[in-house]
Amino acid sequence: MIKVGIVGGTGYTGVELLRLLAQHPEVEVTAITSRKEAGMPIAEMFPNLRGHFDLAFCDPQDANLSECNVVFFATPNGVAMQQARQLLDDGVRVIDLAADFRIKDIATWEKWYGMQHACPDLVADAVYGLPEVNRQYIREARLVANPGCYPTAVQLGFLPLLEAGVADTSLLIADCKSGVSGAGRKAEISTLFAEAGDNFKAYGVSGHRHLPEISQGLRGFAGAPVGLTFVPHLTPLIRGILATLYVRVDKGVDVQQVFEARYANEPFVDVMPANSHPETRSVRGANLCRISWHRPQDGDVVVVVSVIDNLVKGAAGQAVQNMNIMFGIAENSALTAPGMLP
């Protein structure tokens, strides 16, 4: 059994990790920490877990995380970078679901996240946990930077076209829509039901922290600079991200073939038939990215639509997938359930 610790399990990525790990045949969750909620049974905070976990939140001091095989950080940005080194030194592998190790350029990270980075050397060491790109490196990784939710949906949608060199990289547009759980389980007015319900808005148009993460990835796929415009929107659904991507691709390119070839062996990317309309609910609760594409009016603009559950393939599910890869067990362990529809 893989001994798992979770740091900071009181948010949505925490409860989602637990929901998935409850079904994992080769995992034992040995500790889940919360300074603030120490002593509270996790099933009291998250009643869906009643009967699945007897564990209570414990103080980080008492967690004995160094005895775990792997520790997930489901914490706000800036926490994992303070605590990862000690665990790594103790031989514990680390998967950070926050942004601390995602961006290789430290100055860029510090600009967007507004703090000084505590361990730039670990950033260099960390593997960006997008299995479709880095599976071989993830296998050996000590420290995995689990991708952000928008970055997962956008990168998987652009990846085949950029790698194949068939896209005009000077103008890539990613119009993204996220469910409200993406904002986390935080007491804030803007995400109240009476504020976010029956309402739709763009936010962070002038700049959003996921922009440099996406740009870094796309640049890598293209092997060249890219011109990216990224606009996130808040939409009144609980879970789900849909990314609508616009890119110029020569009319002669067989886009379906490009996608199918790239993802032929990927268990968690589903290339749908051309002209399909993937729906977020088709992946609700599932570790899956569904993608389709269109070429309206047979022009040179290709529209790619990519959907994920922001809490699963966009966070906790991808983290479990990374763990499975790191420990050499079946990549789909605990990740086989279909989406829940309706």
β-strands 143-145, 93-96: how paired?
A: parallel
Residue 114, φ and ψ in degrees, nearest 5: 65, 30
Q: How far is CA 257 from the centre of its chain?
A: 26
**Least separation in angstroms between CB 288 and its own copies:** 8
- d(CA 241, CA 182) in angstroms, rounded, equals 9
- d(CA 210, CA 216) in angstroms, rounded, equals 10
Burial class for 22, CB neighbours closer than 10 Å (0-12, 13-18, 19+): middle
* CA atoms within a 13 Å half-sphere pointing along the CA-CB vector of 341: 11
Check residue 25 for interaction with its own copies (CB under 8 A).
Answer: no
Contact 219, 103 (CB under 8 A): no
Check residue 341 for interaction with its own copies (CB under 8 A).
Answer: yes
Nearer to its own copies, 135 or 295 (CB): 295
- d(CA 211, CA 203) in angstroms, rounded, equals 13
Decide: helix, strand or coil at residue 196: helix
Does an H or E element contain 243, and which? strand 241-248
**Least separation in angstroms between CB 183 and its own copies:** 8
Distances (CA, A) of 152 to 10, 140, 268: 23, 21, 12
**Least separation in angstroms between CB 118 and its own copies:** 27
Region 124-163 residues binding its own copies, contact defined as CB under 8 A: none
**Least separation in angstroms between CB 283 and its own copies:** 7
In the chain, what is the greatest distance between 2 CA atoms, to the nearest angstrom? 62
Region 263-302 residues binding its own copies, contact defined as CB under 8 A: 270, 272, 275, 277-286, 290, 294-297, 299, 301
Nearer to its own copies, 80 or 174 (CB): 174
For its own copies, which residue of 3, 22, 78, 266 counts as binding (CB under 8 A)? 22
Region 173-192 residues binding its own copies, contact defined as CB under 8 A: 173, 175, 177, 179-181, 183, 185-189, 191-192
Check residue 40 for interaction with its own copies (CB under 8 A).
Answer: no
Nearer to its own copies, 117 or 290 (CB): 290
Q: Which stretch binds its own copies (CB under 8 A): 123-131, 142-150, 203-211, 318-326?
A: 203-211
Query: Which residues are catalytic, by number?
Result: 149
Nearer to its own copies, 41 or 120 (CB): 41
- d(CA 145, CA 113) in angstroms, rounded, equals 15
Region 53-92 residues binding its own copies, contact defined as CB under 8 A: none
Token reading at 196? 């976010």
Region 307-336 residues binding its own copies, contact defined as CB under 8 A: 307, 311, 336
Q: Contacts with its own copies: how many residues (CB under 8 A)?
A: 88
Q: Which stretch binds its own copies (CB under 8 A): 24-32, 54-62, 114-122, 223-231?
A: 223-231
Check residue 9 for interaction with its own copies (CB under 8 A).
Answer: no
Nearer to its own copies, 120 or 204 (CB): 204
For its own copies, which residue of 3, 38, 41, 52 counts as binding (CB under 8 A)? 52
Residues 6 or more apart whose CB falls under 8 angstroms from that of 1 comprise 26, 27, 28
